[in-house]
Amino acid sequence: MSDTPPDRLASNPSSPHYDAEILERGVGIVFNGVEKTNVDEYCVSEGWIRVTAGKAVDRKGNPMTIKLQGEVKPYFRNDNAEG
C-alpha cells in the first residue's frame, strides 16, 4: 500500500471514490492549516473538501454537505503507532 493518501477519497460507500481499506487505515485532513475531523470527501488536485452541514438531510436521508475551497493536505493517522 502507498505511503501517501489518494488524491480524492469519500466516506460514502455509494461514491465511486470510496475505499474501505484506506478509510480503515485512517486518513486525517488539514484544511487551510486547520485539522478537520468532519470531512466527508476531499480532492487535493481541485482544492476542496465536503463537510456535513449540521443535522440537515436531503430527501433520501443523506446528510447535506457544504463544499469548501482551499488547501487540502491528507495524511495517514495510523502510521508508526508505536509509542
* pLDDT for the residue 79: 59
What's the predicted TM-score (pTM) here? 0.84
* pLDDT for the residue 58: 92
* pLDDT for the residue 1: 58
pLDDT tens sequence for the chain (83 residues): 578 899 999 999 999 999 999 999 999 999 999 999 999 999 999 999 999 998 999 999 988 999 999 999 999 987 554 44
d(CA 9, CA 40): 8
Per-position DSSP letters for 7-70, written without gaps between them: SEEES-TTSTTB-HHHHHH-EEEEETTEEES-EEEEETTTTEEEEEEEEEE-TTSPEEEEEEES
d(CA 70, CA 33): 10
* pLDDT for the residue 82: 46
Could you tell me if 51 and 65 are in contact, meaning their C-beta atoms sit under 8 angstroms apart? yes
